[in-house]
């Protein structure tokens, strides 16, 4: 976007008393929007906006993005875009490091979700709460792991999220916290199916594997239901889960569904075969019925997975 120069910032500034109040407000809104857009896109020339002390303080401390219901401050924008220099300027100018936008996100939520470990570390070192909750009771750690999705998140970004994850845990992030639906960070990571994230979490806290959501789902259910995870990767992940807790095979969710039923529902035959092989000592698993009276074979047929029926 075209950056506003110092002269145009001064021309619109209400601090200089140019024009009536409505004109001044419209002018300042243009400056705020241009500044926020420049920070978001990493444009050059940000110093042009900050040469007038009163305007600089307003932009860095008090301004919210105009005509935006999200209500972001410059800290949110800088943390989201990984702009550590602007983040530093804003904090030094007195910006509220725990400022919330309309979703209840603090700047640390943004840095964690977008995978910016340097920004996250700066915020934590300056007092940000590592267990702050956004709307829905999501912590920064939850947002970090949920942002990684198999096939969509490139490896460099996964590595950045691993750095964020480790940083948050070193500074006391509650790995066992759950959101309003009862999901812990491993439920979220299992849905994404990114192995390094999942293994990092289970190495830190193996008990996460046995956690259940409010509708009774384990991380194995979430893995089986995922449309993102690659089938062979899902088998490796499931194997790591069952080494810790083989009873996950037989856990029913609130609908009476077993993980094998969910794997069949999503057409993940390699995972379904693996789960079936692991349970061959208890073949009655295939005779289990969900709350609708369906067995695994009914679910496979309903999902149009006819080629799976001979195996069952």
In this prediction, what percent of the chain has a pLDDT beyond 90? 65
Query: What's the residue count for the chain?
Result: 312
Phi, psi of 144 (to 5 degrees): -60, -50
Dist. CA 75–CA 90, nearest whole Å? 7
User: Is-contact 200 232, C-beta < 8 A?
Assistant: no
- In terms of pTM, does the model score above 0.85? yes
What structural domains and CATH numbers belong to the chain?
Answer: 1-68 (no CATH), 83-174 (1.25.40.20), 179-312 (1.25.40.20)
Which residues share a beta bridge with 64? Answer: 73
* pLDDT tens digit sequence for 112-141: 999 999 999 999 999 999 999 999 999 999
Q: How far is CA 3 from the centre of its chain?
A: 31
Q: Which pLDDT score is estimated for 285?
A: 78
Tens digits of residue pLDDT in 167-203 = 999 999 999 999 999 999 999 999 999 999 999 999 9
> pLDDT tens, 274-289?
998 888 766 677 888 9
**Which residues have a Cβ under 8 Å from the Cβ of 259 and sit 6 or more positions away?**
218, 220, 221, 223, 224, 238, 248, 249, 251, 275
SS (H, E, C) the chain: CCCCCHHHHHHHCHHHCCCCHHHHHHHHHHHHHHHHHHHHHCCCCHHHHHCCHHHHHHHHHHCECCCCCCCCEHHHHHHHHCCHHHHHHHHHCCCCCCCCCCCCCCHHHHHHHCCCHHHHHHHHHCCCCCCCCECCCECHHHHHHHCCCCCCCCHHHHHHHHHHHHHHHHCCCCCCCCCCCCCCHHHHHHHHCCHHHHHHHHHHCHHHHHCCCCCCCCHHHHHHHCCCCCHHHHHHHHHHHHHHCHHHHHCCCCCCCCHHHHHHHCCCHHHHHHHHHHCCCCHHHHHCCCCCCCCHHHHHHHCCCHHHCCCC
């Amino acid at each position: 976007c075209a950056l506003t120069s110092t002269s145009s910032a001064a021309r619109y500034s209400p601090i200089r008393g140019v024009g009536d109040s409505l004109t001044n407000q419209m002018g300042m809104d243009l400056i705020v929007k241009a500044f926020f857009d420049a920070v978001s896109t990493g444009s050059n020339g940000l110093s042009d906006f900050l040469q007038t002390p009163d305007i600089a303080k307003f932009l860095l401390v008090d301004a919210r993005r105009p005509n935006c219901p999200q209500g972001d401050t410059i800290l949110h924008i800088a943390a989201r875009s990984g702009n550590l220099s602007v983040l530093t300027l804003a904090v030094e100018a007195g910006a509220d490091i725990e400022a919330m936008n309309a979703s209840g996100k603090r700047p640390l939520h943004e840095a964690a979700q977008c995978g910016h470990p340097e920004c996250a570390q700066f915020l934590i070192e300056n007092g940000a709460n590592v267990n702050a909750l956004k709307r829905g009771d999501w912590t920064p750690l939850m947002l970090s792991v949920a942002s990684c999705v198999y096939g969509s998140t490139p490896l460099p970004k996964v590595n950045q999220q691993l750095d964020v994850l480790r940083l948050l845990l070193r500074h006391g992030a509650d790995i066992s916290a759950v959101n309003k639906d009862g999901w812990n960070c491993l439920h979220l990571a299992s849905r994404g199916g990114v192995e390094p994230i999942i293994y990092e979490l289970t190495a830190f806290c193996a008990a996460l594997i046995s956690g259940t959501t409010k509708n009774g789902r384990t991380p194995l259910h979430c893995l089986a239901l995922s449309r993102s995870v690659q089938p062979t990767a899902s088998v490796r992940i499931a194997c790591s889960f069952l080494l810790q807790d083989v009873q996950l095979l037989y856990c029913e969710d609130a609908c009476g569904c077993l993980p094998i039923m969910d794997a069949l529902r999503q057409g993940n035959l390699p995972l379904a075969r693996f789960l079936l092989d692991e349970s061959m000592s208890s073949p009655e698993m295939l005779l289990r019925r969900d709350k609708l009276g369906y067995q695994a074979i009914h679910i496979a047929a309903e999902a149009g997975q006819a080629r799976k029926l001979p195996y069952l």
